[in-house]
Amino acid sequence: MIASLSGTVSEKFDDQTVIDVNGVGYGVLMTAEDSGALASGQTIKVYVHEHIREQSHDLFGFVRLDGKKLFELLLGVNGVGPKMAMSVLSIGNAASVRAAIAGGDVKFIQQAAGVGKRVAERIVVDLKDKVGLEGVDLASTGLLQGDNILLKDEAVEALVALGYSPQDAAAALQGIDASLPVEERIKRALTLPS
């Protein structure tokens, strides 16, 4: 399985970027945002999702790993294939798509080519709890410090490991003093009524 490619951008077509890796050109399908950020002759690394079917073998490439992860989450939704997942990712950057899913913004997701209301609703329902902290209003959770620098919060990670969604973990910790030791914050979050 191909997980990533490192090489030089040799050509760009409509939706495909050819990456030369030691003399072998790999045609990689990318979003317009990712492809537009690349220039011919540029040395790059792209994260790849390899999709093999009976009649085709496609490589879907992403400049950032979070884009690939979101793409793979979208593929897990019934009725969403790789082309539709790329279409959803083409309506905005990964963070804005995650925020739309977490916020239940069906109309935003319907902007993607080929995505109707039912599919957009299914994407929201299936992925709302899986898109991670990017979909949470971080300012209201107390997880931001200074000039919007996200802290790696061990208490949130512990609650997620216990089965909380990232949103629920952040909400449970919202009213608890962030200066307390991690163990104490976890205990207090677990004793709060849900």
CATH number of the domain enclosing 96: 1.10.150.20
The H or E element that residue 127 is part of is helix 117-127
Higher pLDDT, residue 87 or 165: 87
Evaluate if pTM is beyond 0.75.
no
Give me the domain span that covers residue 57: 4-62
Residues 128 and 156 in one domain: no
Number of domains present in the structure of the chain: 3
- Read off the pLDDT band of 63 (50, 70, 90): very high
Residues 127 and 151 in one domain: no
Residues 57 and 73 in one domain: no
Give the end of a domain, one of 43, 62, 81: 62
- Read off the pLDDT band of 83 (50, 70, 90): very high
Q: Does residue 44 have a pLDDT over 90?
A: yes
- Read off the pLDDT band of 146 (50, 70, 90): very low
Give the end of a domain, one of 104, 133, 162: 133
Residues 70 and 128 in one domain: yes
Report residue 44 CA to chain centroid gap: 20
Residues 54 and 74 in one domain: no
User: Three-state SS for 68?
Assistant: helix
For 149-194, how does the pLDDT look when each residue is reduced to its tens digit (9 = 90+)? Answer: 334 577 777 777 676 767 777 778 877 888 888 888 888 888 776 5
Structure tokens at 60: 């879907």
pLDDT at 145: 42
Residues 95 and 39 in one domain: no
CATH of residue 31's domain is: 2.40.50.140
pLDDT at 76: 92
Q: How far apart, in whole angstroms, are the C-alpha atoms of residue 99 and residue 96? A: 5
Residues 77 and 50 in one domain: no
Give the end of a domain, one of 133, 163, 181: 133
pLDDT at 14: 76
Q: Does residue 125 have a pLDDT over 60?
A: yes
Residues 115 and 147 in one domain: no
Would you report the helix, strand and coil content of the chain in percent, each value rounded to 5? 40, 20, 35
Residues 143 and 117 in one domain: no
Residues 100 and 149 in one domain: no
